[in-house]
Structure 1
Amino acid sequence: MSASRRRHREVHLGSRSNWLRAAVLGANDGILSTASLVLGVAGAGGSSAAVLTAGIAGMVAGALSMAAGEYVSVSSQRDTEEADLRLERRELAADPAGELRELAGIYRARGLPADLAQEVAAALTAHGALEAHSRDELGLEQSRRARPLQAAGSSAAAFSAGAILPLGAAALASGSIREGAVVVVTLLALALLGATGARLGGAPPLLATGRVLLWGSLAMAITYAIGVATGGVV
């Protein structure tokens, strides 16, 4: 295969950043927070009904909380982007020649000769001045713009999907093996999530997997210990 054909097949990963971040964060929280909650209640001596009720309540509340948090956070980012674009529109209307010089200066700073930089700036301005300035001056590429609804939906769906795994383990296992089943299922799910997220994001899978396993194990151990201590006191 020629080099030119390989270049045409390149798939860049930056456009995945918005939904991938929300989905990985949501799934990780769903798995880990639900597992920790279930283990904490079980460690305190809660009945099967109490463990499952706590897990279901945690899943629903967590999914709604993640959706709301992502929507508010990403909406704030979107508002900032829109404010920058409104300012840029006003500047383009008030001083188009000055904005053209500014755009040409950006291209000169990136290594283009002065005449070519001016020519490129003029061509891109004619094609779409606001688009050129938003991309090259403000760094706001369309594929990476903040999307609040997408982030909220991805996060809530991923949280729910993740929470189902430890919750299912708690429901299917009984008695003395419940806690062990929840821990095993949770660690397997976290390992799979870490490897999948790394693959989708183009990161080293071993590092990502080890990271989520380390923090996941620590969170479950602390929560279970608190549950045991609380159950003993109460």
Structure 2
Amino acid sequence: MNDATGGQAHEEAHGGGLGTRLNWLRAAVLGANDGVVSTAGLVVGVAGATGSKGTLLTAGLAGLLAGSMSMAAGEYVSVSAQRDSEKAALEMEQRELMEQPEAELEELTQLLVDRGLSWDVAGEAAVQLTERDALRAHARVELGIDPDRLTNPWHAAGASFLAFTAGAMLPLLAIVLPPPSWRLPVTVLSVLAALAFTGWWSARLGGAEAGPSVLRNVGGGALAMAVTYGAGTLLGVAGV
């Protein structure tokens, strides 16, 4: 029984680590995708109004900085709230373990039974887990929290900032580096190619079919660029 319990714990720990890495990777892909779409829409819209390289560069850099800082701040606030909730849940669980240990042991046993163990085996496993580290056992089995791996808002903010910046650099460079006559087609083609890749990769991470994800991603990006370019052109013609 000890070997089986140890093997199960190892698999759960491994699965939890893998799930965490996939979530971070998926967030990075989506952050880069946001950087591509929002910056592409901005610079293409400005390109519809003016062909000034300086103006395009200024607008692109402003959009990159504003977007990356906004993403980082939003992620920091969101993950901080999640971390506070995790800490509060752990503190409550600690109080319950101190005030009613027998009830908590029975609850842990029932949770293990719900996972497929017999009552006798679950009871023995619950006792051993409680003797080893009661809070960690309840945190993982009952709450789905690893006390040693609480979400870090600074890591999340930094990752979002870098992912958005990496995505935003593509349309920014594509709009300012080529000759004036090539700026728009190079930007549009490079952006659509990048969106096709991020759509395919996000679908792969989620285990979904790639085709619909790629079409949604490319279609949304194309629509965003078309709308902003049209608006920029109208504003340019109007002399606004």
Q: Deviations over 1:107-138 (max 9, x none)?
A: 22333222112111111111211111111111
Shift of 1:144: 7.2
TM-score normalised over the length of structure 2: 0.85
- Partners in 1 of 2:205 and 2:221 — Cα distance? 21
Paired residues, number: 225
Where does residue 130 of structure 1 map in the other structure?
135
Q: Assess, with a 3 A threshold, how the Cα gap between structure 1 residues 162 and 58 changes in structure 2: closer, same or farther.
A: same
Query: How much has 1:201 moved relative to structure 2?
Result: 4.7
Contact 2:26–2:205 at 8 Å: present in 1 too?
Answer: no
Equivalents in 1 of 2:149, 2:49: separation in Å?
45
Counterpart of 2:143 in 1: which secondary structure?
coil
TM-score w.r.t. structure 1 length?
A: 0.87
Note the residue ranges of structure 1 that are not aligned, 5 or more in a row.
1-7
Q: Distance in 2 between matches of 1:25 and 1:69?
A: 14
Indicate the residue corresponding to 2:195 in structure 1: 190
One-letter amino acid matched to 2:65: V
- Aligned residue type for 2:212: L
After superposition, where does 1:122-161 map in structure 2 within 5 Å? 122-141=127-146, 145-161=150-166
1:172 matched to which residue of 2?
A: 177
Decide which of 19, 23, 38 is 2:43's aligned counterpart. Answer: 38
Inter-partner Cα distance in structure 2 for 1:177 and 1:119: 71
Query: Using the alignment, how far apart are the partners of 1:123 and 1:218 within structure 2?
Result: 58
Whether 1:216 and 2:216 are equivalent positions in the alignment is no
Would you say the 8 A contact 1:18–1:151 is kept in 2?
Answer: no
CA 1:147 to 1:201, structure 2 compared with 1: closer, same or farther past 3 Å?
farther
Instruction: Kindly indicate whether the alpha-carbon contact (under 8 Å) linking 1:18 and 1:147 is maintained by their aligned counterparts in 2.
Output: no
Q: Percent identity?
A: 53
Q: Where do residues 56-135 of structure 1 align in structure 2 (5 Å cutoff)? A: 56-135=61-140
- Give me the whole-angstrom Cα distance separating, in 2, the residues matched to 1:210 and 1:159: 21
Which residue identity does 1:153 align to in structure 2?
A: G
C-alpha separation between the residues in 2 aligned to 1:78 and 1:17? Answer: 19
C-alpha displacement of 1:157: 0.7
How far did 1:224 drift? 1.4
Aligned equivalents of 2:202, 2:111: Cα separation in 1: 35
Deviation at 1:37, TM superposition (A): 0.4
Greater displacement, 80-89 / 145-154: 145-154
Asked if 2 retains the 8 angstrom alpha-carbon contact of 1:22 and 1:151, the reply is no
The amino acid of 1:49's aligned partner reads G
Partner Cα distance (1:204, 1:130) in 2 = 40
**1:47 maps onto 2:44 in alignment:** no
Q: CA deviation at 1:211?
A: 2.5
Match of 1:232 in 2: 237
RMSD: 2.1
